[in-house]
Amino acid sequence: MIRNWSASAVGAIRGTSAPVTHTLIVLCCLVFLIGPASGLHPAHGSGEELLAAQRAYFRRWGVIPADLFEGSPAAALTPATALFVHGGWVHLLGNMLFLQVFGTMAEARMGRVRFTLCYAGCGCLALLGYAAANADSERSLVGASGAISAVLGAFLFLFPRARVTSLLPFLFFLPVRLPAWVVLPFWAALQWLAAGRADDGPGVAYLAHLVGFGLGFGYAWVCFGRATTVKSAPAPAPEGENQP
C-alpha cells in the first residue's frame, strides 16, 4: 500500500463527496428542529410548559447513567438515540460545524462503512464511558460530541499535518493556521483539564469527549496503521477550516 500521501492527494480527498457526514448533519438538524429543544414547534408550548417538555424529552432519549445500568431495555438504546439529540442551538451548531469540517475528509479517507462504524461505535462507547464514571447520576446526557470527538481523533491520525485555523485567546483571538497535530492534542488537553475540574457532577461531558477522541484515534490506527497518512509536507487546510 502507498505509505505517503502528497498534498495533491489530500486535495483530491477534499473534493470527494461525504454522504454519511452530510446525512448525519441533516438528521441531527431535523431531530433538533422538530423536538422541544429548538423551541420552534408550537405543540410543545412555551414558558414552563416548554421547559417541562424539554426535560421529559432529554430523559426519554438521553443517557441517564443511573437508569442505564439498571438493565432497562429502553435505557439500553439511549447511547444510540442520544447521539442525535442536542440541548440547544449553540450545542447543535458547534457540533455540526466540527462534523462538517473534519468529517468530510475523514469519511473520504476511511470510506463510508469504516467512518460510520467509527462515528456510531466510538460515539456510543464514549457515552458509556462517561456513564460508567458517573454511574449514580440521574442527569441526562445528550449530543453527538463523543462521536464527533472520535472523528477528530481519527482525523489527527490520518491528517496530522493538515492546517487548521484556530482562534487562540492568548493571541487576542487572532486566527492562526496550525497543523492538526498541534491543534487537536491541545484541544484534548483542554478537555482533560476541564474534566478534572468537573467535580460537581455531570454537566458538559468532557470525559465523553476524551474517551471518544482516544477511541477514534485508536480505531484509525488499527484500520490504517500500515496504510498511508499525510506526507510530511504541510497539507491543505480542511474544508471550511475550523475554529476549535
Give the mean model confidence (pLDDT) for residues 59-63. 92
For the beta carbon of residue 41, count every other beta carbon within 10 angstroms. 14
Q: Identify which of 18, 139, 21 has the alpha carbon closest to the alpha carbon of residue 78.
A: 139
- The SS3 call for residue 30 is helix
**Strand partners of residue 175:** 167
Q: Is-contact 2 229, C-beta < 8 A?
A: no
Measure the CA angle with vertex 237, ends 236 and 238; round to 5°. 120
User: What per-residue confidence (pLDDT) applies to 241?
Assistant: 44
The predicted pLDDT at position 46 comes to 79
In terms of Cα–Cα distance, which of 120, 50, 124 is closest to 88?
Answer: 50
Tens digit of pLDDT for each residue in 155-213? Answer: 999 998 887 765 444 333 345 556 676 667 766 776 666 555 544 433 457 888 889 99
pLDDT in tens, 65-93: 988 888 778 889 999 999 999 989 989 99
B/e letters for 131-164, b = 16+ CB within 10 Å, e = fewer, are: beebeebeebbbbbbbbbbbbbbbbbbbbbbbbb
Q: Catalogue the active-site residues.
A: 145, 209
pLDDT at residue 116 tops 90 = yes
| Structural domains of the chain ordered from first start | 4-230 (1.20.1540.10)
Measured distance CA(71)–CA(9) in Å, rounded: 48
Q: What is the Cα 77 distance to its own chain's centre?
A: 19
pLDDT of residue 138: 86
Q: Render pLDDT for 144-164 as a digit per residue (tens, 0 to 9).
A: 999 999 999 999 999 988 877
The 3-state DSSP class for residue 155 equals: helix
pLDDT average, residue stretch 211-224: 93
